[in-house]
């Protein structure tokens, strides 16, 4: 019997656009891995990141062309959750891509990012259902085109990818989500509060996985990880990410106080 292979499944998820297939296959891969029925043997050549395929909808717009939204109207709330659904959708690709693209790493690396891919797929489904209850589906509104650019820029190396994706983009979620939870709490929208709380909890885990692998691989390659982090942010982020930073959650997610101090320095 042919055994399913993680890299074959990754390639299918990255190169096909059908959303429900992607969600099903992602969950299937995680289940196989948990039953020890997934092969992690390297197979196939790695395709260029420009081969990645996204669905026709949503229409992607540059951040400056995105309509402004406020969550205190129902259309604003739908726009907020649509933007979040898009972030989660791209996050599924980001998790698949990091494990597909960077080979020769310990099997635990691949298991960790498969777990992340499956959790991102769950986040996407939960948020999409929440949107549907508001009368809006994923793809009905335009979405931000910038998220995947960081993946393309950092396809050159796993340390750059880890610094920019989990330890910069996903870490940003730890800073802003608690404030959003407070806003929905004030509105008495407990469904949104519970949803965002669940997502935030998992996201702390994703950044923590990112920090763990960043430090482990820096050490293996003989780099001081804090110094390397600063270098990679300066090179790939185009200046420092904006604060305010949630120190408490970032520390849980594997940042050092010195790294956060450096981020805060202007």
Give yes or no for residue 128 binding Fe ion (CB under 5 A). no
Quick one: which segment of 152-160, 185-193, 201-209, 242-250 binds Fe ion (CB under 5 A)? 201-209
Residues 143-172 that bind Fe ion (CB under 5 A): 170
DSSP H helices, 102-224, are 107-133, 147-153, 158-164, 171-186, 190-220
Question: Smallest distance from the beta carbon of 207 to Fe ion, in angstroms?
Answer: 8
Give the three-class secondary structure for 228: helix
Number of Cβ within 10 Å of residue 226's Cβ equals 15
Q: How many CB atoms lie within 10 A of CB 110?
A: 21
Nearest to 7, CA basis, from 35, 47, 34: 47
Question: Which CB atom, from 83 or from 223, has the smaller least distance to Fe ion?
Answer: 83
Q: How far is the CB of 107 from Fe ion (least distance, A)?
A: 21
With H, G, I as helix, E, B as strand and everything else as coil, classify residue 38. strand
The region of 98-106, 123-131, 148-156, 177-185 touching Fe ion under the rule CB under 5 A is 123-131
Q: Judged by CB, which is closer to Fe ion: 14, or 91?
A: 91
Which window, 17-25, 39-47, 81-89, 129-137, contacts Fe ion (CB under 5 A)? 81-89
Which CA distances in Å does 151 have to 49, 52, 105, 157? 8, 11, 19, 10
What's the closest the beta carbon of residue 173 comes to Fe ion, in angstroms?
Answer: 7
Among 77, 123, 208, 225, indicate the residue that binds Fe ion (CB under 5 A): 123
Interface with Fe ion: number of residues (CB under 5 A): 7
Q: What is the Cα Rg of the chain in Å? A: 18
Residues that bind Fe ion (CB under 5 A): 88, 91, 120, 123, 170, 203, 206
């Amino acid at each position: 019997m042919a055994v399913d292979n993680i890299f074959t499944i990754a390639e299918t998820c990255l190169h096909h656009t059908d959303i429900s297939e992607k969600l099903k296959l992602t969950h299937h891969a995680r289940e196989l891995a948990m039953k020890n029925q997934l092969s992690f043997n390297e197979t196939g050549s790695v395709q260029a990141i420009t081969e990645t395929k996204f669905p026709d909808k949503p229409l992607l717009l540059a951040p400056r062309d995105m309509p402004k939204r406020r969550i205190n109207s129902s259309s604003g709330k739908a726009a907020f959750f649509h933007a979040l659904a898009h972030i989660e959708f791209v996050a599924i690709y980001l998790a698949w891509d990091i494990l597909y693209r960077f080979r020769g790493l310990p099997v635990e690396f691949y298991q960790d990012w498969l777990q992340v891919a499956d959790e991102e797929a769950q986040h996407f489904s939960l948020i999409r259902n929440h949107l549907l209850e508001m009368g809006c589906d994923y793809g009905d509104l335009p979405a931000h085109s910038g998220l995947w650019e960081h993946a393309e820029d950092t396809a050159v190396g796993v340390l750059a990818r880890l610094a920019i994706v989990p330890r910069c983009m996903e870490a940003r979620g730890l800073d802003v989500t608690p404030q959003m939870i407070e806003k929905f709490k004030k509105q008495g929208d407990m469904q949104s509060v519970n949803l965002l709380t669940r997502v935030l909890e998992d996201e702390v885990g994703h950044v923590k996985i990112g920090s763990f692998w960043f430090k482990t691989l820096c050490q293996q390659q003989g780099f001081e990880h804090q110094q390397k982090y600063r270098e990679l942010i300066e090179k790939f982020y185009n200046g420092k990410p904006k604060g305010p930073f949630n120190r408490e959650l970032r520390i849980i997610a594997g940042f050092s106080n010195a790294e956060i101090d450096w981020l805060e320095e202007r």
